[in-house]
């Protein structure tokens, strides 16, 4: 009986722990079969780079960490990012990145989708590639 309470509490505390730890780091992660370099990150999330070798890239925004990512990597705010993608879609007929709602969801997308890349706030398991620590 007590064990279940402890498990529940532990799970909740882990979640809260994630919340406080996430303020600092960002990790760019990719599906294990994606040969991507850190220098390509900006082009990837602005639709300028859609292939890495023969692999079609699938950028996935992580809405929970997007503000920090835009500020640190793309050097723009959400409004400009949105406008940039509207123009890109209209001119080139490509779609903006998919959007995951959390680190877990972003991680699941990256694991599941060949060519997928995203960014998360926590260190990741070994079955995805950490392209760079941002």
Residues that bind other proteins (CB under 8 A): 1, 4-5, 7-16, 18-20, 22-26, 43, 48-51, 56, 58, 62-65, 67-69, 71, 79-80, 82-83, 86-87, 89-91, 93-95, 98-105, 107-109, 112-113, 115-116, 121
Q: How far is the CB of 66 from other proteins (least distance, A)?
A: 8
Q: How far is the CB of 85 from other proteins (least distance, A)?
A: 10
Residue 99 or 129: the one with the smaller Cβ distance to other proteins is 99
Residue 102 or 129: the one with the smaller Cβ distance to other proteins is 102
According to DSSP, the β-strands at 116-120 and 27-31 are antiparallel
CA distances from 53 to 27, 31, 35 (A): 22, 14, 7
Q: With beta carbons less than 8 A apart as the criterion, state whether 129 and 111 touch.
A: no
Q: How far is the CB of 11 from other proteins (least distance, A)?
A: 3
Question: In 19-127, which ranges are E strands?
Answer: 27-31, 51-52, 55-56, 58-62, 98-100, 116-120
């Amino acid at each position: 009986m007590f064990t279940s309470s402890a498990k529940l509490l532990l799970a909740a505390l882990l979640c809260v722990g994630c919340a406080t730890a996430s303020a600092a780091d960002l990790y760019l992660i990719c599906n294990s079969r994606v040969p991507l370099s850190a220098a390509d990150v900006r082009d990837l999330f602005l639709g300028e780079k859609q292939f890495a070798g023969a692999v079609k890239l699938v950028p996935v925004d992580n809405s929970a960490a997007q503000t920090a990512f835009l500020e640190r990597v793309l050097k723009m705010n959400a409004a400009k990012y949105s406008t940039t993608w509207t123009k890109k879609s209209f001119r080139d007929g490509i779609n903006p990145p998919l959007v995951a709602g959390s680190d877990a969801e972003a991680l699941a997308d990256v694991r599941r989708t060949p060519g997928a890349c995203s960014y998360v706030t926590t260190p990741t398991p070994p079955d995805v590639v950490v392209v760079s620590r941002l």
